[in-house]
């Protein structure tokens, strides 16, 4: 991914991909956040990038910032099941189990598989 970004450093899709990959690996979270912020500079309302940035903040342990990014994505597209699910996880870890469970329940009502990806990564409510 680094080589591809070297060829197209302003490509928000590639920057988001590297952000997401770093967040998934739970390594280089500061780099993930920088990548997502750079991508948002090119595509400020892209819900995929907002979601990735939320997850990078989640991995870093800053649940307030994660929730803020998820809120922005959900303001644009309220029915993003996976984003709702991840926001629920962040709310639970922040100490709001009621709000978190409500988000997760809504996410699963929209998409019964909304939590599958997080479960694969060992991230459970």
Burial of 21 (0-12, 13-18, 19+ CB in 10 A): middle
50 in a structural domain: yes
- Whole-number pLDDT of residue 6: 52
pLDDT at 109: 98
Classify residue 72: in a domain, yes or no.
yes
What domain range includes position 72? 2-120
Rounded Cα distance between 59 and 53, Å, is 10
- 32's CB contacts (< 8 A; 6+ apart) are 18, 19, 20, 22, 23, 52, 56, 59
Domain count, the chain: 1
CA 43 to chain centre: 15
pLDDT digits (tens, 9 = 90+) for 34-87: 999 999 999 999 999 999 999 999 999 999 999 999 999 999 999 999 999 999
User: Which pLDDT tens digit goes with each residue over 8-18?
Assistant: 567 899 899 99
Q: 75 in a domain, yes or no?
A: yes
Would you state the pLDDT for residue 8? 54
- Does residue 125 belong to any structural domain of this protein? no
Biggest CA-to-CA distance, the chain: 46
Structural tokens at position 1: 């991914």
Residue 57 located in a structural domain: yes
């Amino acid at each position: 991914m680094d080589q591809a970004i070297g060829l197209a450093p302003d490509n928000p899709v590639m920057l988001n991909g590297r952000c997401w990959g770093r967040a998934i690996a739970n390594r280089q979270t500061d780099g993930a956040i920088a990548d997502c912020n750079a991508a948002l500079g090119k595509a400020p309302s892209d819900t995929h990038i907002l979601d990735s940035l939320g997850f990078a903040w989640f991995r870093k342990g800053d649940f307030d910032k994660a929730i803020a990014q998820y809120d922005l994505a959900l303001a644009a597209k309220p029915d993003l099941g996976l984003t709702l699910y991840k926001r629920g996880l962040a709310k639970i870890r922040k100490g709001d189990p009621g709000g978190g469970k409500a988000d997760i329940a809504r996410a699963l009502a929209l998409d019964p598989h909304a939590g599958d990806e997080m479960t694969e990564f060992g991230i459970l409510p």
